């Protein structure tokens, strides 16, 4: 029990619960009305998935700067498939996922073949994808595509938005992957200590490629959520996703050095960021204060983690 | 392009013994490759569109742009020397230019005084980042990313408070000269200067200063050693914490200078200064052969890297490419340059091994 209380996830969960309760009281329980709660959870789906997309590369000690723009590119591409190419929605969805995974695979291959730092490789692919994202439809907007897909984006199951359930399902799948499967354990081993992993017969290169491919695939899922829940897509999607993609795992206690992940932490952190977002709209605060607060929260979370490590280190 | 000498990267920290330094052949020097690519692109663009060689409409603005982005690249270089990153480089510039705009607007100080105030603010915020990193041991990426978030909010709030909008209306005297004049406008008798914008010498001075810092100054050498091997540096009696703070302060100072140069080029102190700094700040040093690992820098390479990207921007812009399309090509050039660089290094190393 004590060890549970000491975890970062527990702290985050308490803060999230307190924050949620405080916001509910402060808004005269407006937050708990069906419509507000529905919107709260519906737009929580994207930050969760985008945070996880960043987390899987952090697991091997890499970064993926292209994650936000890739989401936008996949979303615009699936819009193109449905509107301009006239393909049915299921094919467009699968294509978005495949496209994401392919770009992720290319990122991974570039990293292992050129031996250039992943930060730089994804910086370059991010720039390229920005051009491609714009190239699909210029400044135009795709809307009025598949009613079925948009209904899926607006649908609720027992009062909970389906896209949010999808995001939770993805989070569970990612958690199981890292906890229960051999490739998942290999990924963490390689991220924690590449040298030891190699001596144990784990291919670090394969781990890098797998992590980047998974990251791309998750960006593809994020694109599907955008296409379904937003109801329209254009070339600006993904621009504001890069910083949140880092904020969620970092607040959630994921180490940048690799080898250590926390799916629960990432999800809870996304929840916290969403909470700040909602309070801004509820109280009509200047949008810019939110950035200031999130910056402070990220730094605070990291310092807290450092402080905790020092304390537990002292006790041992 | 630039006149200063290239501070050669120290091959390794003196603290660790190394096999005799391999001398790579001339063709393996990334700076030479950059120079050739720049020359080829200039020839290509000027043959495609004669407007590329127009001194007033193209070349003078191009030099002014290059000046800004050389300094932006140097701001990132200052922390890359440690193996750190400064994700807040653009927002540090924004905060510093806000401070400049504020003192020009409210106190009416001369151009130089305002610049110094801005540089001090930049150095201060950089030192703050360095202090947080050194004291807590938290990854520089995280600290500066969080700082970037925070400053993004702060800068907009400050501009709204001070101006009720997004820019200062004030025009300190001398700013328009920096913006529009070239040395060709200043004549002594019959002899006029070359058509070089007045901001260029400022960037050259900054590059020279950073080059001298890392090549000859004790502070710079100690920063490089800290970047190369922190433990060894600490054991050799270098106050590594203070060197980390110093490197980040230099980064903030250069970011502030870049912000000032951009404000001079735009003719306004506005909130959007620095928004476009992050990507070029990495492009220039990395193209120039500076690694993210720390311990080695190339100032000349950074200047050439910034020149290359700006030549590509300007050239494709003249050929009517849109900004978004430009990004596609910049990304491809970056990937190609890095892959070639890697290939060249591998081949050079193999040759060195087989001949020895």
Question: What domains, with CATH codes, occur in chain B?
Answer: 60-348 (1.10.3470)
Mean pLDDT, residues B237-260: 94
- DSSP for B239-276, please give it: -HHHHHHHHHHHHHHHHHHHHHHHHHHHTS-BTTTTTT
Say if the Cβ atoms of A130 and B325 lie within 8 Å: no
Give the DSSP H or E segment for B191: strand B191-192
In the predicted model, is pLDDT for residue B29 greater than 90?
Answer: no
Question: B-chain residues within 8 Å CB-CB of A125?
Answer: 331, 335
A-interface mutation test, from B150, B279, B281, most A Cβ less than 10 A away = B150
Residue A300: per-residue pLDDT: 79
Least trusted range by pLDDT, from A304-308, B35-39, B40-44: A304-308
Helices and strands, counts by H and E, chain A: 15, 4
Contacts of A32 (CB under 8 A, 6+ apart): A24
Whether residue B114 contacts residue B263, with contact meaning beta carbons closer than 8 Å, is answered with no
Rounded Cα distance, A190 and A220, in Å: 25
Calpha distance A154→A146 (Å, rounded): 13
Confidence of residue B12 (pLDDT cuts 50, 70, 90): very low
Of B7 and A99, which is predicted with more confidence?
A99
Crossing angle (nearest 10°) for helices B60-80 and B89-107? 120
Rounded to whole angstroms, the Cα distance separating A130 from A121 reads: 14
- Each residue of A169-203: pLDDT tens digit? 999 999 999 999 999 999 999 988 888 988 888 88
> Per the structure block, which two tokens stand in for A114?
């050129």
Record: contact A302-B329, CB cut-off 8 A: no
Q: Which of residues 276-305 of A touch B (CB under 8 A)?
A: 286, 288-296, 298-299, 302-303
Q: Which residues of B touch A135 (CB under 8 A)?
A: 324-325, 328
Chain B residue closest to A119 (CA)? B292
- Decide if pLDDT at B62 tops 80: yes
Residue A176's SS3 state is helix
Give the residue carrying structure tokens 């809307």: A143
The answer to whether A109 faces chain B, any CB pair under 8 Å, is no
The pLDDT assigned to B339 comes to 78
With an 8 Å Cβ cutoff, are B142 and A294 in contact?
no
Specify the pLDDT at position A164. Answer: 93
Facing A114 at nearest CB: one of B150, B156, B342: B342
Q: Measured between alpha carbons, how far is residue A5 from residues A9, A113, A254, B41 in Å?
A: 9, 44, 18, 61
pLDDT, residue A81, reads: 92
- Do B149 and A289 lie within an 8 Å CB cutoff? no
Q: What is the pLDDT of residue B124?
A: 96
Give the domains, in start order, of chain A with CATH numbers: 10-15+31-310 (1.10.3470)
Average pLDDT score over chain B: 84
- Residues of chain A in contact with residue B154, where contact means CB-CB under 8 angstroms, are 288, 292
pTM: predicted TM-score of the whole model, two decimal places: 0.82
d(CA B178, CA B150): 31
Q: For residue B27, what pLDDT band results from cuts at 50, 70 and 90?
A: low
If we measure between CA atoms, which residue out of B258, B114, B71, B155 comes closest to residue B266? Answer: B258
* Contact assignment for A114 to B339 by CB distance below 8 Å: yes
Q: Give the per-residue pLDDT at A70.
A: 95
Give Rg (Cα) of chain B.
21
More confident residue, A62 or B179: A62
Highest mean pLDDT among A83-97, B130-144, B282-296: A83-97
Q: How many CB atoms lie within 10 A of CB A257?
A: 11
Q: pLDDT by residue (tens digit) across A209-238? A: 999 999 999 999 999 999 998 888 888 888
Average pLDDT (B125-147) is: 88
Higher-scoring residue by pLDDT: B185, B215 = B215
């Amino acid at each position: 029990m004590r060890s549970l209380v000491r975890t970062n996830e527990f702290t985050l969960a308490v803060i999230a619960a307190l924050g949620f309760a405080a916001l509910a009281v402060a808004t005269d329980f407006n937050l708990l009305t069906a419509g507000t709660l529905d919107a709260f959870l519906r737009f929580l789906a994207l930050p969760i998935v985008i945070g996880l997309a960043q987390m899987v590369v952090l697991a091997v000690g890499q970064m993926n700067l292209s994650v936000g723009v890739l989401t936008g590119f996949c979303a615009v591409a699936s819009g193109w498939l449905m509107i301009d190419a006239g393909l049915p929605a299921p094919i467009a969805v699968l294509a978005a996922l495949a496209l994401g995974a392919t770009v992720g695979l290319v990122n991974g291959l570039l990293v292992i073949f050129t031996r250039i730092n992943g930060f730089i490789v994804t910086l370059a692919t991010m720039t390229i994808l920005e051009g491609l994202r714009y190239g699909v439809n210029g400044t135009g907007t795709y809307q009025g595509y598949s009613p079925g897909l948009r209904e899926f984006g607006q649908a609720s199951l027992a009062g909970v938005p389906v896209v949010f359930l999808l995001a939770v399902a993805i989070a569970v799948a990612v958690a199981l992957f890292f906890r229960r499967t051999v490739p998942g354990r290999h990924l963490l081993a390689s991220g924690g200590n590449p040298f030891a992993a190699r001596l144990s017969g784990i291919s670090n290169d394969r781990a890098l490629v797998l992590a980047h491919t998974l990251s791309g695939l998750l960006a593809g899922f994020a694109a599907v959520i955008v296409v379904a829940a937003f109801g329209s897509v254009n070339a600006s999607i993904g621009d504001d996703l890069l910083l949140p993609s880092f904020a969620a795992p970092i607040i959630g206690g994921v180490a940048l050095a690799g080898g250590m992940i926390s799916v629960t932490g990432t999800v809870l952190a996304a929840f916290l960021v969403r909470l700040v977002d909602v309070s801004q709209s509820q109280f009509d605060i200047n949008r810019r204060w939110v950035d200031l607060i999130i910056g402070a929260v990220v730094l605070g979370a990291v310092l807290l983690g450092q402080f905790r490590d020092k304390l537990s280190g002292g006790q041992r | 392009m630039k006149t200063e000498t290239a501070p050669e990267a120290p091959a390794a920290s003196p603290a660790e013994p190394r096999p005799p330094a391999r001398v790579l052949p001339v063709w393996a020097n990334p700076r030479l490759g950059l120079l050739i690519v720049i020359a080829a692109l200039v020839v290509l663009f000027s043959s495609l569109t004669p407007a590329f060689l127009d001194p007033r409409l193209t070349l003078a603005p191009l030099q002014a742009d290059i000046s800004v982005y050389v300094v932006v690249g140097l701001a990132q270089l200052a922390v890359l020397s440690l193996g750190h990153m400064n994700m807040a480089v653009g927002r540090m510039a924004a905060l510093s230019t806000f401070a400049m705009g504020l003192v020009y607007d409210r106190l009416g100080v001369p151009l130089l005084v305002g610049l110094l105030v801005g540089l001090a603010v930049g150095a201060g915020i950089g030192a703050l980042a360095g202090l947080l990193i050194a004291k807590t041991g938290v990854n520089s990426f995280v600290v500066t990313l969080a700082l970037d978030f925070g400053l993004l909010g702060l800068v907009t709030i400050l501009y709204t408070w001070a101006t009720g909008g997004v820019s200062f209306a004030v025009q300190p005297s001398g700013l328009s000269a920096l913006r529009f004049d070239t040395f060709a406008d200043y004549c002594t008798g019959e002899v006029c200067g070359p058509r070089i914008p007045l901001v260029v010498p400022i960037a050259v001075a900054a590059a020279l200063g950073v080059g001298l810092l890392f090549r000859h100054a004790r502070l710079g050498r100690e920063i490089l050693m800290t970047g190369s091997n922190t433990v060894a540096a600490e054991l050799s009696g270098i106050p590594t914490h203070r060197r980390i703070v110093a490197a980040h302060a230099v980064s903030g100072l250069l970011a502030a200078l870049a912000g000032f140069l951009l404000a001079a080029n735009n003719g306004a102190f506005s909130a959007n200064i620095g928004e476009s700094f992050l990507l070029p700040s990495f492009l220039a040093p990395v193209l120039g052969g500076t690694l993210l690992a720390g311990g080695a820098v190339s100032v000349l390479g950074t200047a050439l890297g910034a020149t290359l990207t700006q030549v590509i921007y300007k050239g494709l812009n003249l050929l009517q490419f849109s900004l978004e399309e430009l990004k596609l090509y910049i990304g491809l050039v970056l990937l190609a340059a890095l892959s070639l660089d890697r290939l060249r290094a591998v081949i050079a190393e193999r040759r060195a091994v087989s001949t020895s």
